[in-house]
Structure formats: structure tokens, C-alpha cells
Amino acid sequence: MANKVITKVLVVGDKTKEMMIDYFNEFKREKTPQYAIFQADDGDTVVTLYQSGKAVFQGKDADLAADFWIETEKINSGKAIVSSSDEKKEKKELVRKIPLNVSSVGSDEVGTGDFFGPIVVTATYVSKENIDFLLELGVKDSKKMSDEQIKKIVPKIIEKIPYNTYILTNKQYNDMYDKDMNMNKMKAILHNKVLSNFANKKIYQYDYIVVDQFESAKSYYFHLRDVPFKVYDITFLTKAEDQCLSVACASLISRYVFLKEMKKIEESINMVIPKGASDVVNNVAMDIISKYGKTKLYEIAKMNFKNVEKIIK
């Protein structure tokens, strides 16, 4: 029997379109269909992005390949218009789950969608013995908690839960970013870096290593091809923070550290800095340039964002 072919169609805005062009640069096919910007391979899925903003994912893993871009478009525009079909009757998407009562290592990151501020990646180790403690604290994904709640809960978490955090400053980000080092490659390297401290099962006895999925496993490990030590046996889950306490803890700690780093930046320029990448951000960036020059912006913002074009204009 032939493998089931699924087609998933997503309409993306300009910001997501630019992110896709950047991400799939390494995987593009030589020939491009009419009216398409590119056609590329993502594992067993063929991805075609059209000039109209229509992104078509076709293959047996099309659901998985499209998931990240659906979530990205939701973040960028607040919604995602999606349609899908397969060779047979459309079925509900199956979501892989892991048991709650297990010891796990998990990682998550924040700051990738913010023009200002660093990228913060954290991995945590949650043993079975600490599950009740975290549930009583009300641990959940950082996106579902206010910044004030995070500031109260995280100090209690880091007193008891082993964690490893890496802060990639904006200057480091800007120095590194080019055609061979895009956002997803940076994230893969940083996740691998923070997870490596927990990969020794003799010290940390875990059942799962879980990463909040931002790309396919194949792409993730392709980005790590030049890294000497790689953490394998990873379970990649979409919305992993809802299923895995170690990922939820990593999300909260990353957000907590991000907020502290943003506070340092604000104090250094004596200005309040907005989060995200809206027009409000552009206005603040122009104020920073007028007061401190472009060099300062390079130190505290992500210069590959489309905001920079608007700011310069």
C-alpha cells in the first residue's frame, strides 16, 4: 500500500514569509514552480511557498512540517488560516503524549520573537519526587502566566529544580546571524548546549528528554552536524510545556531570566522597552538611535528583523 500523502495549506503574512525564505534557504530545490518563491524538502515533505503567501506542505509528514509554521503565523499575526486533506477522508491530528508521572529533562526558549532582548534557553531536570511540588506551585507554560506570577514562582523552582540556562546576547546573535546561521540553527545549537549537562543518566535518571518542537527532528540534527557532542534520544513535542513539567519549568525560568535581562537593558538606556516586534517597538528603536546611535541598537536588538527596514526608512 502506498504511503498516505497529506496536503496542508497555510496562508502566511510577510513576516512569516521572510522567516520561511530564510529557514528553507539550505533545503531549496533547483526548480521552482510558476508563481512560487521556492520549493524545498523538509524530510519526507515538499514545501512550496507562493508569492501570494500560500504555503503548501505535501507528504506523509506534512502535518508535522506545517505545525511549526502554523504556530509561528499565530504569533506573528494572531491567527492562522489552514486547510488540509489526504488521500482518504480527513482525520483528526494525533498528538503524541507522554505520561505525567515520569522523570524527565526538558528544554524551552524565549526571546526569539522579540526585537529587543536576548534569546534565553533553559533545560531542567524534574525527577518523579519533585512532580507534586511543581503541581502544588501551579507550574505551567510561561505564555499562560503573567510576568508578575513568573517573578513570584520561579525563585521557588530554582531552589529545588536543577537547571542550566544560556543567554545569547543580541550582539552575539547579530555577529553570528548569516545565511549559514539562521534562527532555527541557533536554537538547535543552544538547546543541545543546555541539554548536554543533563545527558548523563548515571547522575540524572530520566525516562524522557523532551524539547518543545520548533522544527522536524531531521532538520534539528542537520543543524547540529558540526557540533562535536550531540544529545540524542529526544522526544520532540508540539506544545510540550502542556505535557511535560520539565519543559514547563524551562519555559518559566527562561522567561524569568529574559525579564531580568530586559530590565538591565532598560536601566542602561533609561527607557522602557516594549516586548514583541510591533510598530511601538519601531518608535522606541528610533528614539534609541537618536540618543545613542546605531551601535547601541546593534547591542540590544535583533538586526535581521524586518523592523530594521522600517526604522531605516
Q: What cell was used for 269?
A: 538606556
Spatial separation of the C-alpha atoms in residues 147 and 203, rounded to whole Å: 33
Same domain, 256 and 129: yes
CB-based contacts of 61: which residues, under 8 Å, 6+ apart? 6, 42, 43, 44, 45, 216
Q: Which of 239, 203, 221 lies closest to 108 in space, CA to CA?
A: 239
pLDDT for residue 92: 38
Spatial separation of the C-alpha atoms in residues 66 and 58, rounded to whole Å: 9
Same domain, 115 and 49: no
Same domain, 108 and 78: no
Same domain, 259 and 277: no
The verdict on residue 96 lying in a domain is: no
The verdict on residue 115 lying in a domain is: yes
The verdict on residue 1 lying in a domain is: no
Same domain, 123 and 245: yes
pLDDT for residue 284: 92
The verdict on residue 123 lying in a domain is: yes
The verdict on residue 44 lying in a domain is: yes
Supply the range of the domain harboring residue 25: 6-86
The verdict on residue 194 lying in a domain is: yes
pLDDT for residue 31: 87
The verdict on residue 138 lying in a domain is: yes
| Contact criterion met (CB below 8 Å) for 110 and 212 | no
pLDDT for residue 302: 94
The number of domains in the chain is 3
Q: Which H/E stretch holds residue 174?
A: helix 170-176
List the pLDDT tens digit at each of the 313 positions of the chain. Answer: 345 678 999 999 999 999 899 888 888 888 888 899 999 988 778 999 999 999 999 987 788 788 888 878 888 888 888 887 654 433 333 345 778 889 999 999 999 999 999 999 999 999 999 999 998 888 876 677 888 999 999 999 999 999 999 999 999 999 998 767 889 999 999 999 999 989 877 899 999 999 988 888 888 999 999 999 999 989 999 888 888 999 999 999 999 999 999 999 999 999 999 998 888 899 999 999 999 999 999 999 999 898 888 887 7
Beta-sheet strands, E only, within the chain: 6-11, 36-42, 45-50, 54-59, 81-86, 104-110, 119-126, 163-168, 208-212, 234-237
Please report, for the domain that includes residue 230, its CATH number.
3.30.420.10
Q: Which of 105, 74, 149 lies closest to 247 in space, CA to CA?
A: 105
- Burial per residue of 11-44, b for 16 or more beta-carbon CB atoms within 10 angstroms, e otherwise: bbeebbbebbeebbeeebeeeeeeeebbbbebbb
pLDDT for residue 114: 93
Q: What cell was used for 51?
A: 508569492
Total-model pTM:
0.70
Spatial separation of the C-alpha atoms in residues 95 and 141, rounded to whole Å: 18
pLDDT for residue 1: 39
Coil, strand, or helix at residue 21?
helix
